[in-house]
Structure 1
């Protein structure tokens, strides 16, 4: 125990000394004691002096796996591009440390590293290694191109890997602050991702649909709304009502209000409408009002009238015109409610 404490203390001191420690540590890379070789390699990796690459690289073939692993990690920390070929050789010959090698290649970055990792993404069938490769690709991505390359590989992957690729591609896009467009033929992956319990995948899938929804997006989006996450639901309602077309709006409300066991919290989505009512195109407003009145026809819900009362302060003429027209076509019971509403407001 005492020996471990002393070694840790020595490691801290040598790391803080930085460059002056390098010449002290280098001879210990050739020690007969594998623990000493590993200790020296670990500390040199923390100091991050590129001049040690040629001294550390031979340890990639060390007979002790812990020393070998330390060399892999150190070369990754040093971003040692000159050691890339040697790391690839280790990857192709030592299965047990493949994840560590992938991580180091990702840290090194550059076109050669990226090309190799993309190649291995096709070659590997193990989902853990595939995920590790995707993480490594995202670590150093400096161009949106890597996101498009991941999307291009999705059709050849299983659905679980597709969702991970989608999440990573859009995470890179977000980090680089560059727009990424989801290909039309891959929107089904976004729909699957919306059903995920993993919030990162779900949010990335939502972002991948863009700001304009299509008919085929509606039912998966209703599934998201059912999870009752207010910020996400508000964004969905904004994109639906402000940016999408009448067809999508009509289909949404038709599908939403017939849900079994619909909760009051889920119905709260209509309360977002006043927040951006003035941004909604007139034809979309009319479609929304008509959809709400259809619901009112079957439920007589006072809540619908309360919403109209709020919207009336922003769009009095439109609300009154549509309600008056509706009152001439509905049941006597609903007509009384509408007439009373118009009289009082």
Structure 2
């Protein structure tokens, strides 16, 4: 038998295995496509361009929070304070704008405040040896409490041309097809994902993060400065929370006392749905945006179907549990 005929005869039998391997390594993408098709077939309005862009707008804040959360989970940690960091950044910026500061100054101070919360988390976890859950739960409460004191527990409006521009700017749409332009906020989110994905794939920092998450002891023995990298990662998570705070300040125009409350749980859900393993070491930042889209696409469809909020929350929990179960089963399959 010639070499070409041998290869041709083997291809059909190898193809199903290759497809299964691809589907296993891209389970989040497969789930997104299947759910997208199902929701489109069961709702007349789901596939409308305006609704799709509405999903992107709704998921933007959690998607940005998810970048930092993915990094922290990759090193084997967790950050429950991202919602409070977001709130603090947005609240401080709104206060400064109200008192006459320029937008660049207000944004810079807000970002610094959220980044400092992230730095504090890193120092508490790595410097003081406190459990990540306990440490970040403490900063969740503390950061929100401090922001509420500064805001006098009152609602603050964001009235600034720069923030208004971020909220309303879109790319040109296609009027003939009734397709609206892409919101600037969505573009900012995608740019952040591209930058962070490149950071994780092509820099020493990214390689060290995966090494620490895979085996912290081995990483330390190989000379990786584990403590410094973990503190830096928590600091970056705070920085991304600050960016999310700026985006939500622009998109809503109002900083209310409950802003960002509970967003940490939706963020963790998006990260898990994207395939990042909660034990650390395995996951991709770029897949977290797929997880965020799965989550908010599902919530959007349930809203269209007029499913009560409490059932939406229950479905979100089941979705996350299903993602974890599928990941565990895939691990066992690869091990066997």
Same fold at TM > 0.5: no
Structure number with greater Rg is: 1
Bigger relative CO (Cα 8 Å, ≥ 6 apart): 2
